[in-house]
A = this chain, B = another copy of it.
Amino acid sequence: MGKPVTTGRRAGLDRDDMVCAALALIEHEGPAALTMRRLAAALDVTTTTIYWHVGSRDELITEVIRHQSERQAGRPITGTTARERVMCAARHVWDNALDNRAITSLAHQTGTTSLLEHPLEVALGRELESAGLTGEPAARALRAILSTVGGLLVLALRNESTVPEEHRAPALWAATHGELAPATIAALTRPGDYEDLFTSTVQAVIDAHVPGPRD
């Protein structure tokens, strides 16, 4: 009947639909694509409608992060020794971040990483307690491990394509003559293996906090 595209109760969308659409948008087109107008277009709605449901962009992002946070709980912890199980919990944080790069980046740049990873952090905390740590030592170990993983994630999730090639690490090292041995420069010019770096570095931090089976 050629309904005039009018206003009023037609969309039938609620807050959850907004959050899910935002999540999909981020996953498919990256964090920068999360624009109120783009999200509105994806939902076939006006930006004002989104504001009515979610309040603001920050609230929307927080909700997206919280939603994702619930989805990434519950991977099983394996391993027999305490160190192995702690390592496994740490690797869950790492793996989940790499499996959901876009949302993790978004959480990182909005300062809501704690919110996103909290369930995984709790799991890590449990393993630390099983290993015999409580109170302050457990908190210190937890923070040390999480910040180490976080630092590695900054490297692994960095979107190289946004920064010109001549300012990226390999090019900088290639331009560094005379200060370091050629073999070292060569090694630094090659791209690093983040997986190896993760394993050895996190293991070192864990070993410094969690007593081994013979202690």
Instruction: Decide: A114 and B201 in contact? CB cutoff 8 A.
Output: no
Chain copies in the assembly?
2
Which residue from B133, B139, B148, B160 sits with its C-beta under 8 Å from A192? B139
Bound form: Cα–Cα A144–B201 in Å: 6
Give the B-binding residues of A (Cβ under 8 A).
62, 108-112, 114-115, 118, 122, 125-126, 129, 133-136, 138-140, 142-144, 147-152, 154-155, 158-160, 162-164, 167-169, 172, 176, 179-181, 183-184, 186-188, 190, 192, 196-197, 200-201, 203-205, 207-208
Which chain B positions have C-beta within 8 A of A187? 135-136, 138-140
Which residue from B136, B147, B192, B204 sits with its C-beta under 8 Å from A154? B147
Instruction: Decide: A126 and B180 in contact? CB cutoff 8 A.
Output: yes
Instruction: Decide: B201 and A167 in contact? CB cutoff 8 A.
Output: no
Instruction: Decide: A179 and B144 in contact? CB cutoff 8 A.
Output: no
Bound form: Cα–Cα A162–B109 in Å: 11
Listed residue (A152, A187, A203) with the most chain B CB atoms within 10 angstroms of its CB: A187
Which chain B positions have C-beta within 8 A of A172? 114-115, 118
Q: Which residue of B lies closest to A113 (CB)?
A: B154
